[in-house]
Amino acid sequence: MCSDESKFCISFGYQGPRVWRTRGEAHNPRCLRSSVKFPQSEMVWGAMSSAGVGPMCFLRSKVNTAIYQEVLEHFMLPAADQLYGDADFIFQQDLAPAHSAKASSTWFKDHGIPVLNWPANSPDLNPIENLWDIVKRKMRYARPKNAEELKATIRATWALITPEQCHRLIDSMPRRIAAVIQAKGAPTKY
């Protein structure tokens, strides 16, 4: 099972029509477009396996060790039950400080969940990063007006992710690993 957090902003994707102007029109009101310096955003935690996606969680604050353990308890464990039942699995996460903290390692050991030993800074190898990209591309033309509409759009889009999409991402792992090895750790197309 792979998990990670991702940030969704109201203003990503479609930014409206382009503004074209000729010389001397720099301050003409019809040639100006307003923008938001710090758009409303939502931080989301999600998990996936080759069987599909699990429940997602909207995070209200920056993820520290205590919050991460709450997410694991209330969202990862139900996701594992939904996606694996009684079957064994290995949990994959990045090395964010809350994920790699001693208390988080202890939580996993106490719950009998093995964690994949994972290299630092390796988004090329985490399939959920590609899943977040798929979700954001599907939301490209959505125009949520506020945080609640953004959350509803994220939930609806997450629900559209099929087990087949997740399976294809997981199946791409041997190709991802080979590409990273061939690039000697440099970025790849993944």
Cα(87)–Cα(67) distance, integer angstroms:
27
Taking a C-beta distance cutoff of 8 angstroms, is the pair 49, 170 a contact? yes
pLDDT by position in tens, the chain (length 190): 888 889 888 765 445 555 566 777 766 776 665 555 556 789 999 999 999 999 999 998 889 999 999 999 999 999 999 999 989 999 999 888 999 999 999 999 999 999 998 776 665 678 898 999 999 999 988 888 889 999 999 999 999 999 999 999 999 989 988 988 898 877 777 6
Q: Which long-range contacts (CB under 8 A, 24 or more apart) does 114-120 make?
A: 114/90, 115/90, 115/91, 116/90, 116/91, 116/92, 118/92, 118/93, 118/94, 120/95
Burial class (CB within 10 angstroms; exposed 0-12, middle 13-18, buried 19+) of 173:
middle
Task: Report pLDDT for 33.
Answer: 59
DSSP, collapsed to helix, strand or coil, labels residue 58 as: strand
Alpha helices in the chain (DSSP H): 65-71, 77-84, 97-100, 102-110, 127-138, 147-159, 163-171, 173-182
Q: Which helix (H) or strand (E) holds 38?
A: none
Beta bridge partners of 115: 91
Q: Which helix (H) or strand (E) holds 85?
A: none
